[in-house]
Amino acid sequence: MNIGVFGTGQVGDAIGTKLIQLGHNVRMGSRTAQNEKAAEWTKKSGMLASHGTFSDAAQFADEFIFNCTSGTGSVDALKSAGAAHLNGKVLIDISNPLDFSKGFPPSLTVANTDSLGEQNQRALPDLKVVKALNTLSNPLMVNPALVNGGDHTLPICGNDDRAKAKVAALLHTFGWKADQILDLGDITAARGMEAYVLLWVRMFGKFQTPMFQIKIVQ
C-alpha cells in the first residue's frame, strides 16, 4: 500500500526502508519538497520510494503515516500537512519531545500532565493518533529479534481501538508478535510512554548502546 513517513532523520530512514523492503510504496515528507536527505533516501531506495512536502506525503498515504519528526517539530508538521489530507487516517506517532538544549541526557519539552502524543491528537482531532515505537531504538523498531530473540514488550496507546488493531497488524509485518504489544489505553497513556524515555536515556548512558529493551514480566 501507499504509506507516508514524516521526517528525514535516522528513524524516518529506518521505517521508510523497512516499508520498502516489505513492498510498500513510501513517500517521505519534510518541510520542503526538495529536502536533500529525503532526495538521497529516495535515490538509494529505488522505485517504490518518493519524497515531497508533509502535505504530499499525507495525501499519498492510503491509510498509514509514520510520524518520525523531531518532537519539537511534530505539531507544525501535522498542521502543514493539513487536516484534509490527514483526517480519517492513522498516525503512528514515534516522536518524542526531546530537548537537547542542555546536552545529554535530554529532558522533555512536554511531560507529566500532558504529552506530545496528546498535543498531536489535539492538533488534528480527526486523525487517529497511535503512540507506538517511541520507547526503543530505530534498529529494534524494524527488527525486534535483534535483542533477546525478539522477546520483549512494546507499549502502544491511542483513542481508536480499530486504529490500534491495524497498527498492531502492520507492526506484525515488522516482526512484532501480538503478545508483545501492550495496549495501555487512550492517548493520555503517552504521558507514561514518553516519560519512560527519561529512564531509557539513563540506561543508554549506562550501557553505551541503544540495543536493549524492556520486557514486562508477571
Nearer Cβ to a copy of itself, position 47 or 209? 209
Residues 6+ apart with CB under 8 A from 46: 20
Nearer Cβ to a copy of itself, position 128 or 152? 152
* Residues in 81-110 that interact with a copy of itself by CB under 8 A: 105, 107-108
The size of the chain, in residues, is: 218
The mark string for 175-214 relative to a copy of itself (x by CB under 8 A, - otherwise) is -------xxxx---x-xxx-xx-xxxxxx-xxx-x-xxxx
For residue 199, report the phi and psi dihedrals to the nearest 5 degrees: -80, -40
DSSP state of 101: T
Residue given cell 497513556 in the structure block? 189
User: Closest by alpha carbon to 156, among 169, 138, 139, 173?
Assistant: 169
Nearer Cβ to a copy of itself, position 22 or 182? 182
Core vs surface per residue 24-53: b (16+ CB within 10 A) or e: bbbbbbbeeeebeebeebbeebeebbbbbb
Nearer Cβ to a copy of itself, position 65 or 181? 181
Supply the minimum distance, in Å, between the C-beta of residue 31 and a copy of itself: 28
What is the C-alpha separation between 14 and 167, in angstroms, rounded?
A: 17
Residues 6+ apart with CB under 8 A from 209: none
Of 103, 112, 162, 208, the residue at the interface with a copy of itself (CB under 8 A) is: 112
Residue span binding a copy of itself (CB under 8 A) among the ranges 20-28, 33-41, 80-88, 147-155: 147-155
The mark string for 11-50 relative to a copy of itself (x by CB under 8 A, - otherwise) is ----------------------------------------
Decide: is 169 part of the binding site for a copy of itself (CB under 8 A): no
Joined grid coordinates for residue 57: 506525503
Contact at 8 Å (CB) between 37 and 68? no
Supply the minimum distance, in Å, between the C-beta of residue 69 and a copy of itself: 21
Q: Using CB under 8 A as the criterion, which residues of the chain lie in contact with a copy of itself when the complex forms?
A: 105, 107-108, 111-113, 147-148, 151-152, 155, 157, 182-185, 189, 191-193, 195-196, 198-203, 205-207, 209, 211-218
